[in-house]
Amino acid sequence: MADGHERAAVSKATATYAAKVEETKAAFLDWPSGRGLLRSRKWEAIEHLDRFLEQFERHAEARGTRVHWAADAAEARAIILEICRRHEVRRVVKSKSMVTEEIHLNAALERHGIQAVETDLGEYIAQLRGEPPYHIVTPVMHLTKEDIDGVFHKTLGTPLGATAEGLAGTARRVLREAYLTADLGVTGANFLVADTGMISITENEGNGRLTSALPRVHVAVAGIEKVIPRLEDLALFLPMLAVSGTGQPLTGYNTLLGGPRQPSEPDGPEEMHVVLLDNGRTRLLAEAETREALHCIRCGACLNACPIFKSVGGFSYGTTYQGPIGSVITPHFRGLHEWKHLSYASSLCGACSDVCPVHIDLHHHLLRNRRDAVAAGSASAFEWIAFRVWAGIMRSPAAYRFSARAGRVAQRFSRMLGIEGSLLDPARAWTARRAAPTLAPESFRDWWKRTRGGRP
**Where do contacts with ligand SF4 occur on this chain (CB under 6 A)?**
244, 296-302, 325, 355-358, 360, 362
Nearest-approach distance from CB 279 to ligand SF4, in angstroms? 17
Nearer to ligand SF4 (CB atom), residue 109 or residue 355: 355
In angstroms, how far apart are the furthest CA atoms of the chain? 94
Nearer to ligand SF4 (CB atom), residue 247 or residue 357: 357
Nearest-approach distance from CB 366 to ligand SF4, in angstroms? 12
Chain-centroid distance, C-alpha 375: 27
Q: Is the dihedral of CA 44, 46, 51, 53 positive or negative?
A: positive
Nearest-approach distance from CB 245 to ligand SF4, in angstroms? 7
Element (H, E) at 187: strand 184-187
Q: Is 203 strand, coil or helix?
A: strand
Which residues 6+ apart lie within 8 Å of 246 measured at CB?
A: 17, 20, 137, 204
Nearer to ligand SF4 (CB atom), residue 207 or residue 244: 244
Nearer to ligand SF4 (CB atom), residue 171 or residue 355: 355
Q: Which of 375, 376, 377, 294 is nearest to 328 (CA)?
A: 294
Nearer to ligand SF4 (CB atom), residue 197 or residue 313: 313
Q: Which of 198, 207, 254 is nearest to 228 (CA)?
A: 198
Nearest-approach distance from CB 135 to ligand SF4, in angstroms? 10
Question: String of b and e for 139-168 (b: at least 16 CB within 10 Å)?
Answer: bbbbbeeeebbebbeeeeebeeebeeeebe
What is the Cα gyration radius of the chain?
A: 26
The values of phi and psi at residue 199, to 5°, are -115, 145
Nearest-approach distance from CB 31 to ligand SF4, in angstroms? 14
Angle between helices 323-334 and 362-375 (to 10 degrees): 30
Nearest-approach distance from CB 240 to ligand SF4, in angstroms? 9
* In contact, 281 and 72? CB cutoff 8 Å: no
Q: Which of 203, 214, 221, 210 is nearest to 105 (CA)?
A: 221
Nearest-approach distance from CB 353 to ligand SF4, in angstroms? 8
Nearer to ligand SF4 (CB atom), residue 39 or residue 261: 39
d(CA 285, CA 157): 48
Q: What is the dihedral of CA 60, 218, 299, 24, to 10 degrees?
A: -90
Nearest-approach distance from CB 213 to ligand SF4, in angstroms? 28
Nearer to ligand SF4 (CB atom), residue 177 or residue 354: 354
Nearest-approach distance from CB 235 to ligand SF4, in angstroms? 18
Nearer to ligand SF4 (CB atom), residue 89 or residue 240: 240
Nearer to ligand SF4 (CB atom), residue 100 or residue 244: 244
d(CA 12, CA 175): 28
